[in-house]
Amino acid sequence: MWTLNHLSKKLLAGLILLILCACGAEQQKIPQAQIAKQNAFQIGKHTVYLSTNKTNDLSEAMAIKYNLDRKQSLSMLNVSILRDSDNKSVTAKIDIDIKNLLGQNKKITALTFIENSYISYAFISSVSNQETLLYKLKVSPENKYMKNIQYREKFYID
């Protein structure tokens, strides 16, 4: 009886070990995450924040309020500037140039959003699937400083 119980335990342990080994047999390579790009830039006593999205990501209410087309083929660069001393949103002069990797200039629609004393600048341009846009900005917060900023983003369209 003891040998049968002992043998059963050994078989069960071997079976568990075999199952555990088999679980890792079809290991797939996990892709490495891309390095996060810098989207905050210091200019004097101000911080400039950049973000991109497609206009179809906007809420319907926001699109109606600002008369924007919600499309996957329209990209939007958002620029916000905060004063470091009090974290308040400030106005800025922004010159922008948008090109793709072929060096083709993109037509730009510039907008300013003001919501609850928060100021945001948006620059809208067309984009195609897997197109990378290169943004070259000259930013001058409160007309005190000026800095050149370069930013790039690759877009995917379903």
Strands in 147-155's sheet, in edge-to-edge order, are 92-100, 131-141, 147-155
Pick 29 or 109 by higher pLDDT: 109
Q: What percent of the chain has pLDDT over 90?
A: 63
Pick 97 or 4 by higher pLDDT: 97
Q: Model-level pTM?
A: 0.75
Q: Does domain 40-155 have CATH number 2.60.40.3340?
A: yes
Pick 156 or 22 by higher pLDDT: 156
Q: Which residues are CB-neighbours of 10 under 8 A, at least 6 positions away? A: none
Phi, psi of 130 (to 5 degrees): 60, 25
Among candidate residues 54, 76, 34, 63, the one with its CA nearest the CA of residue 157: 54
> Which residue ranges make up each domain of the chain?
40-155
Per-residue model confidence (pLDDT) at position 77: 95
Residue 132 has pLDDT above 60, yes or no: yes
Q: Please give the Cα distance from 36 to 79 (Å, whole number).
A: 18
In terms of residues, how long is the chain?
Answer: 158
pLDDT in tens, 66-123: 899 999 999 999 999 999 999 999 999 999 999 999 999 999 999 999 988 899 999 9
3-state helix, strand, coil in the chain (%, to 5): 20, 45, 35
